[in-house]
Structures are given as C-alpha cells and as structure tokens.
Structure 1
Amino acid sequence: MSTSSYPQRNGARKKKPVKKKRKKVSFLRRLTRVFMFCLFMLTIGMGWLYFAPSANNFRYLIADTLITTQHRYMAKYIIGEDELKNRVAEYNQRFDNMGDELDTHTIAAPNPEADADSDAEAAAVKPLVEIEKVTGTGYSGYIMIVNDPTKVRLGIPDKVGSGEKVSSMVKRTGAIAGVNGGGFADPEWKGNGFKPIGLVISQGKLFYNGLGGKDSTQIVGLDKHGKMIAGNYTLGELSKLGVQEAVSFQPRIIVNGKGLIKNAAEGWGIAPRTAMGQRADGALLFVVIDGRQPGYSIGANLYDVQQIMLKHGAVIAANLDGGSSTVLVKDNEIVNKPSSQYGERYLPTAFLVFEHPEEAQIMNIWEGLDPSQIDAAKKRTQ
C-alpha cells in the first residue's frame, strides 16, 4: 500500500468530529430558541398579569387562593403587601357583616301524634345519613344529608394537649359519620389542633371560651330542637336560643333562603371547603369539597359552595374550617380525599352523627384550662 494513502485516511477521519459538532451546535441553537420563546411568553404573561386591567380578577383570584394556604405571605408578590393587608381586612369586615341579618327560618317539627309504625316506615324510606357526589368546574366533593338534625353532637378530643382526627372521634364515640368543625390556632401551620378559635359549646354547656373579652362571635351550630343557628351572637343570646352544639367560624353564606355572596369574585379564592346548611324540613346539609389536587379537584370558592347549598334547598348555611382540615367520615371510612400531605389532621372539634346521641360520652377536656396558657404548637402526645 502506498504511503500517499495515509493523508487521505487522516483527512477522512477529521470529517467525523465536524459532523458531531454541527449536530451539537444545532441542538444547542434549538434549545436556546425554545428557552427564549418560553422567556418571551413568560414576560408577556407576567406583563398581562400585573398591568392589564383585564387581569385584575384573575390576579385577585390567585391572591385570595394563596391567602387560604400556609403560603399567605406569597400573595404580596401578586397584589402587594399593603393590598394584601387591605384585602384580608376587607374580607373580615364583609364576613362580619354577613352574620348580622336576623335569621327567621323555621324547621318542620316532628309530629308527636305519629305512631311507631309510621315512624318506622318513614325511617325505612329515608335513612338517617345520605351521601351524594357533587362536581363542578375544577372541583369534586360530597354532600352529606342528615335527615334528623337532633342526631348530631359536637365531638371533641379525649386527651389534653392534642387534637384528634375526625376518623378517630367517629370510631371512639360510636358515631355513624362526622365532618370537621371549627378552626383552631395553628402557628406556622404546625398546630396540634388543641386550641380552638372562639367558642365551643357541647350538650348545651360552654366547654371553651376563647373570645378574649369580645362581646360576640360568629357561630355555627344547633339548638335543642335541631334548628341550625349561624351568625353573630353574644353568649347571652346563645343561651336564650338554647344552643346545644356550636363552634366559632365564618362567614354565614345563606340566611332566610338567600345567598349572601354575589359572585365568584367575592368567593375568597379556590380551596378545599367544608360547610353546614339546613333545609326547611330540618335536614342538615354538610358540603365537603376536595382541593389542591390537580387532575382530581383544585377546590371551590365560597360562591360555589353557596350555590351547591341553594341547589339542595338550604335556607341557612355557613362556612366551616376548610383547607387541609376538610374531611368526611362515614362508617369508619374517610369518604373524601384530604389535601394534607401528612394525611388527616388533628382537630379540636367535629360534627358527629349518632343513631343514639344520648349514649355518646363527650367530656370537657378544656375544663379548668386558661385559653391564654394553652400551647397551640406543643407536640402531640397521642
């Protein structure tokens, strides 16, 4: 073989890396173009979000949704810190006002002349508890109908220093079903669920008073006849009304058969929700909406919840604690999908349904405790 062939082979070998380099350069150029396009679209999107008048509603929807989470502080990056403070203050004032109108609704009282046979027949036709699926744009959840409102009691934890899961309360007390109740102090979203916000009334007795000198609070509860009570009340008014089971929470969203939230823009963002309502026939309605789970359910605003209640005949309804506390338990099984990454939360209160509520053993674990001295962030003991 002649030596003149070597330079030719060497030249052929040099062409291969050139092709690889060109392919590599071509790929990097495409990647750069994609990146620049995404950056351009992001810039356009952010410009629209922050400066376009048409984006105002969407911007406040994002902010309101963040306000309902443990990342409330992030809302200031959407609407500004001053506007965030104003927004929260505005909602609190609006919620307070929504509890002021006098509730005049009545419920159908049981017929004392009905004989045992007719009672048994009615019970066979209409079970104590019914659960239906509810869905809407972006949300999925359930509505639990309790046909006898006198069968509901307020469940509380059984150990000092810690809240309790609703599923645990249901199993421990022998309840048929249960949903989460009122709110609680939750420092850095790591609370132990033992320090309620406001009042806790059980079996007609004041179990917990965390008003701190306030004259009134918004409550959600039931009187001795099973009539739902919701709105702004003083302790004296609650006593005169004969309130038996109640927690503090807001806002009331339906009163005297009419919704108080005008539209979705006033719905306080998208989140998991729990609410309680009542029909004119006395049946209680518990709406539980899952959220923060893309692909299944993002959540609902309070306007959505209000419309679900109205559709099912509610003449009065009020919001309960939601977010990661939202849970519905039936026959010792969790029906919905709680949003907390740690599973079901430890809570101070729950509305429980019993076949025989007179047999329920519910003791006051806050008796003798000073609310101001309760450590809401103390590690759980159970």
Structure 2
Amino acid sequence: MLSRVILFCMLLLLAGGAWLYLAPSGASTRYLIADTLITTQHRYMAKYIIGEEELKHRVTEYNQRFVQMGDEKDTHTIEQPPAAEAEAEKPLVEIEKVTGSGYTGYVMTVNDPTKVRLGVPSRIGSGEKVSSMVKRTGAIAGVNGGGFADPNWSGNGFKPIGLVISQGRLYYDGLGGKTSTQIVGLDKQGKMLAGNYSLEELGELGVKEAVSFQPRIIVNGKGLIKNAAEGWGIAPRTAMGQRADGALLFVVIDGRQPGYSIGANLYDVQQIMLKHGAVIAANLDGGSSTVLVKDNEIVNQPSSQYGERYLPTAFLVFEHPEEADIPNIWEGLDPSQIDAGKKRPQ
C-alpha cells in the first residue's frame, strides 16, 4: 500500500513538472514563481525556474520598464473640496482593511497631506524601527519609506538608496554621480510627486519630503501596469498615492504568511489605489520592510520572523508637524564610506 502511495506521489510530481516546464499554460506560472522569488532574499533561486540568462534578462527588463514608467510628466493638481465638505470635520488618519485574492492589508488615508514628514533614524550606524520612530518623534502614524543597501539581507538599515529629503533639506545624496533618480515624496503644498527627477528639478519644485524608489504605478489618473502578469510577483507591499482632493493614501499589504496573506502584485496595489481615487501613486519599499503603525501599535503583520526591520526612512504623520524634531543623522558622513553590513550599535 505504501509503495503505491509513493508511486502515485512521484507520478503526480512528474506530471506537475511536465506541465510547469512543457505546457504553454505552465509558462505564466513559472514566471509568476520566478518574479516572486526575485522580490525576496532568495532571488538566485529563480534561475532554477526560468534559467540564469532569463533571470538576468527579466531583472534588466523590469528595471528598464520601471524607469520608463517614471518618464511621463505628472500634471495633477490638488483640488480644494467644496466649502461645506471642508467644514465637516474629518479625522486626520483613517484606516480601512482591504482583502483580495490571496492578500490582506490596509489603506491608511491621511486627509491633510501637509501633516506628513519624513522620519530618519536617531543613531549613526543603525536604521530604526518605524514603531520606534513614531514613539520617539510623537507621530500618530507611520509607514516604511524608501529602500536601503542590504547585503545578504542582514544590513543595518542605515545606508539609504538614492536620495533622502526631509523638511525641505537634502539629508542624504547617494546618487554617486547620477543626474536623476525616481523619487516618491511631497512638495511644500502637500502635493505628491513621483517619477524621474534631477536634484535641480526637485529644488525648483520645492520638494519637502522624499525618498528614492520605483516604480510609479499611476500618473495623471491612469494605471501604468496593464495586468497581473506585469505585476512583479507576489510579495508584501507598501505604496503611496494621492487623491485629487489632496488626501494621501498609503496601501500596506501583508504577505509570505500562508493561511493569512500570501501577498499582492503591483497590479493589485494599483487597482486598490484607483478604487480609492488615486490620481498618482508609486511603490515604496516592501517585503519584510512593510509595516503600518498607528497610535504606537503595529496595525499589520510584518512578514519578517524577527518582527519589524531597522529602516532608514519612514513617512510619519503628525498633528503638529512644525514641532517634529528630525535632525539629519547623515550630516558630515560620506555615503561611499558607510558600511551597510556593519553590526548595529547596541
């Protein structure tokens, strides 16, 4: 009896493998698996699914596409709501649970975009958990921000990728001679900006808070990702968007937790944003960095088995942002000399 069960399982595996690698219908599943692996610390394993050369081609293709998605000029403006609506009191922050095929997450709406500041760590040599930034600065809510150098997925979270701008000042320039980068941020009026910009353009536009990240997924009210196949795999996600009335939308999707939430692709995130009225939206750092904090409590379920990660940036919401104390922790440091893998100070 046992031998028959083993034989049946072997035949099932062989049939599944044959379908995955030989049947045309299995190709899309293989690429979905590969794209999902690419978003994890086990990116190298994708070569066993689609081959090493195809993996390199896939990553290059995505990067090129992401750059192109940031090229179109954003022309959206913030429209003031009617007087009657403006007089009606709205809470500064509203949180709504969202679910879909295989994922669970949250949409945080910040009704006044001028109340958001970019938080950074408090100690040299170490990133900081978003929950710690929220508590330390007196913020009422926070979401993880931009990416960072993370050698072997054990980095200290202190070396951002690209630019960091907080309170209208350039805190960190890791462009290394590049003339432009894709940013996600806000100008002095609370208008969201996302896409390819040079440092000079950011200065002219009066950008006040920003990080480098990609891709932009909505511009001028239209989604840039055509379908799920272009959604860059299944993973925990964080994204930022803005409605025409100025309200900011932060989408946080949990993932890598079977039985609760596997994760979402960028097409899913784009559709959530569009459903909630976003006219512009962009991806932020996701994966095990994805976290949403409100009133000093973690709202979502971060995918890391160690809990929250130590990060270089977070978008923080304040009742009184003018009182926020966010000094430049990177002042005087040479980005090229920052060791991203050095053990965090205790």
Tell me which interval the TM-score lies in, with the shorter structure as reference length: over 0.9
Instruction: Give the aligned partner of residue 10 of structure 1.
Output: none
1:148 maps to 2:119: no
Q: Count residues with an aligned counterpart.
A: 346
Which residue type is aligned with residue 34 of structure 1?
V
Q: CA deviation at 1:122?
A: 2.7
Which of 325, 332, 338 is equivalent to 1:368?
332
1:122 maps to 2:93: no
Instruction: Report the Cα distance in structure 1 between the residues aligned to 2:27 and 2:240, rounded to whole angstroms.
Output: 31
Which of 55, 68, 78 is equivalent to 2:26?
55
Instruction: Report the Cα distance in structure 2 between the residues aligned to 1:54 and 1:344, rounded to whole angstroms.
Output: 38
Which of 282, 287, 304 is equivalent to 1:340?
304
Instruction: Give the aligned partner of residue 268 of structure 2.
Output: 304
Instruction: Give the aligned partner of residue 69 of structure 1.
Output: 40
In structure 1, stretches of 5+ residues that fail to align are: 1-29
Which of 41, 56, 60 is equivalent to 1:85?
56
Instruction: Give the aligned partner of residue 213 of structure 1.
Output: 177
Residues 273 and 253 of structure 1: CA distance in aligned 2, closer, same or farther (over 3 Å): same
Which of 134, 138, 141 is equivalent to 2:98?
134
1:97 maps to 2:68: yes
Instruction: Report the Cα distance in structure 2 between the residues aligned to 1:213 and 1:321, rounded to whole angstroms.
Output: 23
Which residue type is aligned with residue 234 of structure 1?
S
Q: CA deviation at 1:52?
A: 1.1
1:232 maps to 2:196: yes
User: Does the 8 Å CA contact 2:81/2:245 hold for their aligned counterparts?
Assistant: no
Instruction: Report the Cα distance in structure 2 between the residues aligned to 1:159 and 1:331, rounded to whole angstroms.
Output: 23
Which of 183, 195, 219 is equivalent to 1:255?
219
- Greater fraction of residues in helix: 1
Instruction: Give the aligned partner of residue 350 of structure 1.
Output: 314
Instruction: Report the Cα distance in structure 2 between the residues aligned to 1:378 and 1:109, rounded to whole angstroms.
Output: 48
Which residue type is aligned with residue 373 of structure 1?
Q
Instruction: Report the Cα distance in structure 2 between the residues aligned to 1:110 and 1:273, rounded to whole angstroms.
Output: 30
Instruction: Report the Cα distance in structure 1 between the residues aligned to 2:313 and 2:161, rounded to whole angstroms.
Output: 10
1:99-143 Cα deviation digits (max 9, x unpaired): 0000000002489xx8xx997x533xx100000000000000000
Answer with 1 or 2: which has the greater Rg: 1
Runs of at least 4 residues off by over 3 Å:
none
1:288 maps to 2:252: yes
Where 2:272 maps in the other structure, the secondary structure is helix
Q: What percent of counterpart residues are identical?
A: 84
1:313-344 Cα deviation digits (max 9, x unpaired): 00000000000000000000000000000100
Instruction: Report the Cα distance in structure 2 between the residues aligned to 1:145 and 1:243, rounded to whole angstroms.
Output: 21
Where 1:253 maps in the other structure, the secondary structure is strand
Which residue type is aligned with residue 336 of structure 1?
N
Instruction: Report the Cα distance in structure 1 between the residues aligned to 2:85 and 2:33, rounded to whole angstroms.
Output: 53
Where 1:363 maps in the other structure, the secondary structure is coil
In structure 2, stretches of 5+ residues that fail to align are: none
Instruction: Give the aligned partner of residue 176 of structure 1.
Output: 140
Instruction: Report the Cα distance in structure 1 between the residues aligned to 2:198 and 2:319, rounded to whole angstroms.
Output: 31
Instruction: Report the Cα distance in structure 2 between the residues aligned to 1:177 and 1:381, rounded to whole angstroms.
Output: 26
Q: CA deviation at 1:247?
A: 0.0
User: Does the 8 Å CA contact 2:20/2:26 hold for their aligned counterparts?
Assistant: yes
Instruction: Report the Cα distance in structure 2 between the residues aligned to 1:138 and 1:334, rounded to whole angstroms.
Output: 21
Where 1:154 maps in the other structure, the secondary structure is strand
RMSD of aligned residue pairs (Cα, Å): 1.3
Which residue type is aligned with residue 341 of structure 1?
Q
Q: CA deviation at 1:51?
A: 1.3
1:268-298 Cα deviation digits (max 9, x unpaired): 0000000000000000000000000000000
Instruction: Give the aligned partner of residue 189 of structure 1.
Output: 153
**TM-score normalised by structure 2 residue count:** 0.98
Which residue type is aligned with residue 165 of structure 1?
K
